[in-house]
Amino acid sequence: MQKEHNLSKNQKIIFDLIDKSGGPMKAYSILFSVQKKGIKAPLQVYRALDKLVEIGKIHKIESRNAFIACQNSSCQISKATAFSICESCENVSEISNSKLSKYLSNFSDNSGMKYSKYNLEFFGLCKKCKSK
Amino acid sequence: MQKEHNLSKNQKIIFDLIDKSGGPMKAYSILFSVQKKGIKAPLQVYRALDKLVEIGKIHKIESRNAFIACQNSSCQISKATAFSICESCENVSEISNSKLSKYLSNFSDNSGMKYSKYNLEFFGLCKKCKSK
DNA sequence: CTTCTAAATGTTATATTATTACATAATGTT
DNA sequence: AACATTATGTAATAATATAACATTTAGAAG
Ligand SMILES: [Zn+2]
Ligand SMILES: [Zn+2]
Ligand SMILES: [Zn+2]
Ligand SMILES: [Zn+2]
C-alpha cells in the first residue's frame, strides 16, 4: 500500500487536473488551466509538480517534458517507471508488467553502480495509428 | 557495421567536441565551446545535434537535457539505448548488455503497441560516490 | 559541365521549459 | 508558546529549444 499523502491546496488542484485529463500534460498548459483557480505563476506549478513526482502521484515523461498521473495507484513504483509512447498520436500509458519491473529492478552489471531507480520509455505506434 | 556518414563541417566540430569530452554535454555549453570555430547560434548547434542523434553518433540523455557520444560505435543501437547515471557526480555511461537489449527489443505486451524504439535510464550511485 | 534536388548553413527573433531569490503564511511538533 | 517544516505568493531571469526566411554547398541525373 502506498503511503497516504495529504495534498496541499495547489497540489490537489494540479493533481486532479492531470488525473482527469487522462494523459500527459505540460507545465505551462497546466498553468493556463489553473489560472482561474488562483495559481498564477510557473513556480507554483513546478513546485506542486515536483512534490507530486516525489511522492509518486505523477510521473514525468522525460522525452516529452510532460507529466502524467500514476496509473498504478495501489503500488509504489515511482522509482521504477515504464511508459509506452505513440510517436504518431502522442498517447502515453504507463506499463505495468511485473516481469519487466522485476527484470529491471534486479538488473546489475559489472560497472560497480548501485542502481536505485530507473525510467524506461518505449516508442512506437499504437493500435489506432498502426492501422492508418 | 554502422553505415558510414560523412559529417558536415558543423556536425564534425560538434561531434568531436562531445566525443572528446568523454561525458554528456549540454547544448548551450557546446555552443559556448564552438563559438571560436564560427558557430554562433543555438540553431546551428541544435541542427547538428538532431542529425547526430538521427544517425546514432550521439544520444540524448533525456533526464538531463544533455548529449553524449555513442560508446558502441560498432553496433547500430541508436533505437535501443540504455544509460547508467550517477545521481551524485552525474557521470553517465552507455550500457552495452546484449541480454538486456535483447530482452527489451523483444518486449511486447497486450496493448497492441508496436514498439520500434526504447530508451532506458538507470539512476544510482557510482563506485566512487558510493564509498564517500 | 549543367541542371536539379536535397542537405546544410547563417541569421534574427521568439517560444518553451525551468529556476533563483526573497517575503510571507500555514502546518505540525515539542 | 516556541520552533521547525512545508507550502505559498510574486517578480525576475535562466536555460532549453524552435520558427521563419535567405543563402550556400554537395550529390545525383542528364
Ligand atoms: Zn506509476
Ligand atoms: Zn497513436
Ligand atoms: Zn550508442
Ligand atoms: Zn558518482
Got the DSSP string for A31-95? HHHHGGGT--SHHHHHHHHHHHHHTTSEEEEGGGTEEEE-S-TTS--TTEEEEEEETTT--EEE-
Tell me the three cell numbers of residue B34: 564552438
Are B65 and B41 within 8 A, CB to CB? no
Distance CA B101, CA A99 (A): 15
Q: For residue A2, what pLDDT is reported?
A: 45
pLDDT, tens digit, for every residue of A62-81?
999 999 999 986 556 679 99
A115 touches strand C (CB under 7 A): no
List helix spans (H) across chain A: 9-21, 27-34, 42-54, 98-105, 127-130
* Confidence at residue B131, expressed as pLDDT on a 0 to 100 scale: 87
Which pLDDT belongs to residue A77? 61
* C-alpha closest to that of B103 among A100, A25, A19: A100
**Closest approach of B118 to chain A, Cα-based (Å):** 4
Q: How far is the CA of B83 from the centre of ligand 3 (A)?
A: 9
- Domain made up of B9-130: CATH architecture: Orthogonal Bundle (1.10)
Q: What is the mean pLDDT of chain B?
A: 93
Which of A38-47, A104-113, B65-74, B96-105 shows the lowest per-residue confidence on average (mean pLDDT)? B65-74
pLDDT of residue A94: 96
What residues contact residue B56 under an 8 Å CB cut-off, 6+ apart? B2, B70, B76, B77, B78
Positions of strand C less than 7 angstroms from a protein CB: 7-14, 16-21, 28
Reported confidence tier of residue B75, pLDDT bands at 50, 70, 90: low
Looking at residue A55, its pLDDT comes to 94
Residue B15 gets which letter from DSSP? Answer: H
Q: Which residue approaches C12 most closely, CA to C1'?
A: B41
**A124: nearest CA partner in chain B:** B115
Nucleotide nearest to A47 (CA to C1'): D7
- The CA distance from B42 to A47, in Å, is 29
What does the angle CA B55 – CA B57 – CA B63 come to, to the nearest 5 degrees?
100
pLDDT band at A1 (very low <50, low <70, confident <90, very high): very low
Strand C within 7 A of B41 CB:
yes
Q: What is the mean pLDDT of residues B36-53?
A: 97
Residue A109 φ then ψ, to 5°: -130, -170
CA–CA distances in Å: residue B93 to residues A20, B57, B82, B90: 38, 15, 9, 10
CB–CB of B84 and A111 under 8 A? yes
Partner residues linked to A58 by β-bridges: A69
DSSP SS3 for B112:
coil
Q: What are B4's three cell numbers?
A: 558510414
Task: Enter the DSSP assignment of A124.
Answer: E
Q: How far apart are CA A48 and CA A81, in angstroms?
A: 20
Of B111, B119, B126, the CB nearest to A121: B119
Q: How crowded is residue B5: how many other Cβ atoms within 10 Å of its Cβ? A: 14
This prediction has a pTM of 0.94
Paired with B83 in beta bridges are B94, B121
D19 nearest neighbour residue (CA to C1'):
B43
A81 CA to centre of own chain: 8
